[in-house]
């Protein structure tokens, strides 16, 4: 059977129950890749980043909302996020890496991973990332992965 986005959830379930990895998949390489992704995530979360000068208007700001630019330029104090919110964000990033790992391990091909999203539905976002380019894939199937 061909691997497609429609068979992804079933293929991951089969992988988890049988632990049989399709031929041609280098399990050690995929585990190392997953470990590196987790390491990069933890570095990003816990190592201090360089402080950016937000008082400069740059060409990269083209497309940002006027209000966002004003707040950034005037160094308006942001609302402080609660600690559990940071944990939710980090958990979401970890789950994304786990799903990508299981997707590759089940024999599916992952393309354009973390490639900046292009204009779609009249909206452009430099920070949006492509996770699933096949938008016909039902979101309910993704939720099945987490149902107990």
49-96 pLDDT, tens digit each? 766 666 666 777 777 788 888 887 787 787 888 999 999 999 999 999
Would you say residue 102 lies in a domain? yes
Q: How far apart are CA 93 and CA 91, in angstroms?
A: 5
Would you say residue 118 lies in a domain? yes
Specify the 3-state DSSP secondary structure of 120. strand
The total of structural domains in the chain comes to 1
Return phi, psi of residue 123, to 5°. -120, 135
The predicted pLDDT at position 70 comes to 82
Of the two residues 75 and 12, the one the predictor is more confident about is: 12
- Given the structure tokens 């429609």, which residue do they identify? 6
Of the two residues 92 and 1, the one the predictor is more confident about is: 92
Would you say residue 145 lies in a domain? no
Containing structural domain, residue 67 = 5-140
Q: How far apart are CA 148 and CA 13, in angstroms?
A: 12
User: Of the given ranges (30-34, 73-77, 105-109, 143-147), which has the lowest mean pLDDT?
Assistant: 143-147
Can you give the pTM of this predicted structure?
Answer: 0.66
Would you say residue 31 lies in a domain? yes
User: Quick one: pLDDT band at residue 147, thresholds 50, 70, 90?
Assistant: low
């Amino acid at each position: 059977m061909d691997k497609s986005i429609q068979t992804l959830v079933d293929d991951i379930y089969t992988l988890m129950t049988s632990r049989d990895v399709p031929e041609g998949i280098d399990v050690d390489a995929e585990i190392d890749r997953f470990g590196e992704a987790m390491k990069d995530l933890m570095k990003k979360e816990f190592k201090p980043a360089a402080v950016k000068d937000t008082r400069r208007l740059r060409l990269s700001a083209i497309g940002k909302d006027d209000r966002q630019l004003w707040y950034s330029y005037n160094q308006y104090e942001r609302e402080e996020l609660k600690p559990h919110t940071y944990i939710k964000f980090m958990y979401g990033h970890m789950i994304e890496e786990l799903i990508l790992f299981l997707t590759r391990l089940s024999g599916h091909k992952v393309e354009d991973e973390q490639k900046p999203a292009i204009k779609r539905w009249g909206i452009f976002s430099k920070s949006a990332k492509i996770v699933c380019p096949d938008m016909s894939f039902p979101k309910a199937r993704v939720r099945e992965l987490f149902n107990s």
